[in-house]
Amino acid sequence: MTDSSGSSKPSRLAVLSFVFGILLWLLWCALYFGLGVMAETNSLSEEAGYAGFIFGPIVLGVITLGVGLAGLILGIQAIRKRDPKRGLAIAGLALNFICLCPFVLLVAVMLAAGVSSIPQYLNEIMPSFGQ
């Protein structure tokens, strides 16, 4: 006797990966939709605007890094298990990857800017460095 219902359902890892991706999308949309509605109706004070547009993405960025990486890892593990229903794992991987891309690009730009400013910084500290 074989249980055919177990093979037709995606694994818990795939479901969690997908749920994490959807959760991240909803959090980012809720943040900017809420701030946009408050700004449009002029019910957003200057302090709340600064807090929402500066600290909101920082807090959500930390959440995105943790949950997004967990979603990526779970999606990869679900695909490596060779589930017959890998579609949910692939969708979770795609969602988590798309949520993480802006942060990876931001870190790359920040590193490139920091590395390119090292010679200028060294010239300020040690004027004989560039000669």
Q: What is the pTM of this model?
A: 0.70
Please compute the mean of the pLDDT values over residues 30-48 and round it to a whole number: 80
pLDDT band at 72 (very low <50, low <70, confident <90, very high): very high
pLDDT for 1 equals: 42
Are 106 and 61 within 8 A, CB to CB?
no
Cβ contacts of 130 within 8 Å, gap of 6 or more: 119, 122, 123
For residues 86 and 14, is the Cβ–Cβ distance under 8 A? yes
How far apart are alpha carbons 92 and 75 in whole angstroms? 6
Mean pLDDT over each residue of the chain, to the nearest integer: 81
What mean pLDDT is predicted for residues 120-126?
A: 74
Q: DSSP label at 53? A: I
The rounded percent of the chain whose pLDDT value lies above 90 is 24
Q: Between these two residues, 52 and 99, which has the higher pLDDT value?
A: 99
At 23, the amino acid letter reads: L
Q: Picking from 68-72, 78-82, 108-112, which range would have the lowest pLDDT averaged per residue?
A: 108-112
